[in-house]
Each structure stands twice: as C-alpha cells, then as structure tokens.
Amino acid sequence: MLSTPINIHLPRHPHLVTSLPGPRAQAIIERDRAVTSPSYTRDYPLVVARGEGCMIEDVDGNVFLDMTAGIAVTNTGHAHPEVVAAIQTQSARLLHMSGTDFYYEPMVELAEKLAARAPFPQGAKIFFTNSGAESNEGAIKLARYYTKRSAIVACLGAFHGRTYGAMSLTASKVVQRASFGPLVPGVTHIPYGTHASLDYLEKQLFNTTLPPQEVAAIVVEAIQGEGGYIVPEDGFLQRIRQICDRYGILMIVDEVQSGMGRTGRLFAIEHWGVMPDMITTAKGIASGLPLGAILAKPELMTWPPGAHATTFGGNPVACVAGITTMRLLENGLMANASSMGELLQAGLQNLHQRFPVMSSPRGKGLMVAVDLIDIAGNLDHKLRDRIIQQAFLRGLLLLGCGKAAIRFCPPLVIDSNQIQIALQILSEILLESRA
Ligand code: PLP
C-alpha cells in the first residue's frame, strides 16, 4: 500500500498495515546502507514518508504514534499547518541572502522575540546558528573572547554536540570521542547534578589543578538530555550561578533539548528561577527547520564584525518557522506540555507500581524518562532496547537515552488519548516480557 494522500488526515492512533519493515521500507534501507555513513544510529527500521501532529506514516502506509518528535525537535507537531504556511509564503519570497552580510526582517523579528523572552535581567543579543553543536561552539568562543580566559567546566554525561569544541564538552558515551583526539584543550568535567560535585569543584579542583580565575565558563544542561533526562538536585543550578558570580565565570546553559517549551516553560532553567549569562538553543526552535541560537546578556556580545559569523544561520525561512513556533508555544502548547507531562508521569508511575522493572518516571513537562532495571536492581539496557523494538512493532516510536532509559519527548500537541495509547502499548509489552 502507498502512503495516505496528503489531503487525507492520518489516524490519531497507530495503524499497521504490513509487517515491519514493509517492502518499500526494506528497499530504501538497502539503498541507504550502500551510500550513507555507518555512523548514524538507527535503532529500528522506520522509513518516514509523512508526519502530522503526533503521528508518523511510513512509506508502506503504516501509521505510528511518535513519542520522539524527531529527537525533541517538532515541538509544534509534525507539519503544523501554520508553520507550513509561514514556510511556504516566505520561501516564495526569499530563500536566502545571508544574515551575516545583509539584513532581512524575519531574522530581526525572531531575535526580538527571543530577546523579549530570555530569562536575563535586561533583554538579550542573539547569534543565529544552524544546529545545537554550532550554538555551543559559538557560546564557548564568546565566553573565551569576553573573559579572556580559556578553561571551561562541563559535566560528565553531558551531550553538547559533535564538532570539535562541542565534542570536547560532550562526555556522554565514549564512542562519541574515541579516536577523534586531540580535542580542544582546557575542558574539565565534573559529575552532573549533585552538590557533592560542586563541593569537588570548589574545594578540590579550584584549590589544586584549576585556578577559578582562569575559568571562562561553566556549561551545563538544565536537565541532562542524552545523558538520561536527569533532573539536577535542588539548588544545583542556583549554586552554579553563585560560583560563577564569585569568580567572574560565565554560566552557559545548554537548552538545545530542554528548551523551546518542552518542559512547559520556554527554557527549562526558568523552573529554578536562575538567570544564566548565555543560553544555547536549537532543535525545537523552528519546528524542524535547521536553526539554532545563542542568547547572551547584551553586555557580553562585545566581539567585533568578523569575529564570528555563518552563511546559513538565521536563514529567513527557518526564522519565520521560528516566529510561528514561538507564537504557538505561547498560545497553548507550553501549557499543554505541562498538563500532558503530568498525565504521562502519573501513568508511568502507575506502570512502575505494576512492573518494578520500570523505575519511577522523572523529568518536567514532556521531557520524561524511566529506567529499566533487572531483578538484581541493576540498569538493564538490553531490556530497554527490547522494549523499544517491541514498541516499534506495535506502532509506538520511542528513543533511549542514558544507560538504560527510555525517553518520552513527543510533539507538544499530544493529547490525553494519545498518552493513554502509549501507556497501554507499554503496559502490554511489560506484561508480555514478564510472562
Ligand atoms: N546539546 C544538547 C543538550 C543536545 O541534546 C544536542 C543534541 O542532541 C546538542 C547539543 C547537539 O545538537 P545538534 O545535533 O543540533 O548539533
């Protein structure tokens, strides 16, 4: 069967019409194998033809419920009609001119909107990029430029991207670094999320190997993403702010995954009332078009013309998608992320009580995860991987993170019925794996 014509809506629940992968999917995967890099990590053989809201249709006409949002990107849902209309209108008018060398209004307008919402005392200045990695590259360059210091502190378990600067901060999986060295020097990693870690930084590192007056920035995820959707201990982020203030260090919060409404606030750091010096973002900012941004307190953006630039970053089509995304987030989607997140966590808590192999849920809004645990109480990544495979075969799209976690990061348009469907599928799989 072919995929559904574009003028017909997809069902709002999974609907499988072939065995998986179907024949068209199989043929495309074979072609893919011959010509694309083996470094891509495809957990299951999903070949996507179309997306609508929370639903994905594959090339054989199978319909899946998407709890991944293309790795936390399509926050307004797949192909939101208002985002699509904005893209269509803008692309007929101007596809590209380069915001590095020229001016155009969509870039200014999106910067104004981000500056107005940045959790800084007095507005923000924005540098647009093409990705999360590029946002983090730029942020550490700006931190070094502004402070005239070189050392950077990052966290174990962090994921900040795969280009050299960002990769040097990343400390999530060894495969992401192995054989790529030497990396950018001057990066020190501390454990994520605990007061013990900050004690170690202040009492050990700052008194032995790492003079605090040489540290340009502490880079930290508000909620650790790829590392396992880890919510930090109360006071952790506040204390980083205090340490930064004490030693003149900049606090850079990576909101590439946790930002743009995913946790029910525009930026997850707002849950803790902490004002960082810079925020990096990407993923959800333009509902699926490649765009990222560095938000910095205005007084930090002291670098002169030519010090940092990019051909594509802030592309006009991506910017109108971003402007529309921000409007949709403010007009209901962030509120939906909060209420659907609560429903999801309550349902997962219920599953945890019935199936102790699954931990209690953690997270905020629609950035939620559970761990899978074996009978001895150890993290069980094989069980996690099996559950993700089984979910796919039942029409539910999930992704892993951390050592043995399943992450739930659906489009923020998800409704309560779809949450119940996801929970029902999980419960059937857990029941079967117990038998
Ligand atoms: N920072 C965080 C917290 C991320 O989760 C990611 C990607 O998953 C990145 C940075 C890198 O973003 P990109 O893949 O767009 O370079």
CATH of the domain at 303: 3.40.640.10
Strand partners, 251: 218
Quote the pLDDT of residue 6. Answer: 86
List C-alpha distances in Å: 116 to 113, 126, 255, 295: 5, 11, 17, 11
Give per-residue pLDDT as tens, 36-61. 999 999 999 999 999 999 999 999 99
Q: Whose CA is nearest to atom 12 of ligand 1?
A: 132
Strand partners, 373: 379
Ligand 1 centre and the CA of 161: distance in Å? Answer: 5
Secondary structure (3-state) at 171? coil
Q: Residue holding tokens 């910017």?
A: 319
In a domain, 140, yes or no: yes
Q: Provide mean pLDDT across the span 278-302.
A: 98
Q: Provide mean pLDDT across the span 390-414.
A: 98
Task: Order the strands of the 55-58 sheet from edge to edge.
Answer: 48-52, 55-58, 63-66, 396-397
The domain containing residue 147 runs over which residues? Answer: 82-328
List C-alpha distances in Å: 362 to 230, 255, 417, 428: 7, 18, 21, 21
Q: Provide mean pLDDT across the span 64-84.
A: 98
Q: pLDDT tier at 21 (50, 70, 90 boundaries)?
A: very high
**Residue 245: pLDDT above 60?**
yes
Q: How far apart are CA 355 and CA 337, in angstroms?
A: 26
Pocket test for ligand 1, best of 281, 283, 289 (most atoms within 8 A of CB): 283
In a domain, 349, yes or no: no
Q: How many domains does the chain have?
A: 1
Q: How far apart are CA 391 and CA 372, in angstroms?
A: 14
In a domain, 310, yes or no: yes
List C-alpha distances in Å: 124 to 179, 275, 276, 299: 38, 12, 11, 9
In a domain, 135, yes or no: yes
Structure tokens at 79: 């192909």
Q: Using the Cα atoms of residue 100, residue 101, residue 106 and residue 109 in order, give the sign of their dihedral.
A: positive
- Are the C-beta atoms of residues 269 and 237 closer than 8 Å to each other? yes
Q: How far apart are CA 158 and CA 173, in angstroms?
A: 9
Structure tokens at 63: 């319909």
Alpha helix (H) residue ranges in 118-161:
132-147
Q: pLDDT tier at 2 (50, 70, 90 boundaries)?
A: low
Any residues with CB less than 8 A from the CB of 399 and at least 6 apart, and which?
A: 43, 67, 68, 71, 388, 406, 407, 409
Query: What percent of the chain clears pLDDT 70, i.e. is strictly above it?
Result: 99
Quote the pLDDT of residue 4. Answer: 84
Question: Which atom belonging to ligand 1 lies closest to the Cα atom of 133?
Answer: 16
Give per-residue pLDDT as tens, 184-213. 999 999 999 999 999 999 999 999 999 999
In a domain, 301, yes or no: yes
Structure tokens at 198: 């900050």
Quote the pLDDT of residue 435. Answer: 65
Q: Provide mean pLDDT across the span 359-372.
A: 98
- Are the C-beta atoms of residues 279 and 267 closer than 8 Å to each other? yes
Give per-residue pLDDT as tens, 110-166. 999 999 999 999 999 999 999 999 999 999 999 999 999 999 999 999 999 999 999
In a domain, 302, yes or no: yes
Question: Which atom belonging to ligand 1 lies closest to the Cα atom of 292?
Answer: 15
pTM tops 0.85, yes or no: yes
Q: How far apart are CA 267 and CA 384, in angstroms?
A: 29
342-359 burial code (b ≥16 CB/10 A, e <16): ebbbebbeebbeebebbb
Q: Which residues line ligand 1 (CB under 6 A)?
A: 71, 131-133, 136, 159-161, 221, 225-226, 254, 256-257, 282
Secondary structure (3-state) at 358? strand
In a domain, 296, yes or no: yes
- Are the C-beta atoms of residues 287 and 333 closer than 8 Å to each other? no
Quote the pLDDT of residue 240. Answer: 98
Q: Whose CA is nearest to atom 1 of ligand 1?
A: 160
**Residue 1: pLDDT above 60?**
no
Ligand 1 centre and the CA of 167: distance in Å? Answer: 10
- Are the C-beta atoms of residues 169 and 151 closer than 8 Å to each other? no
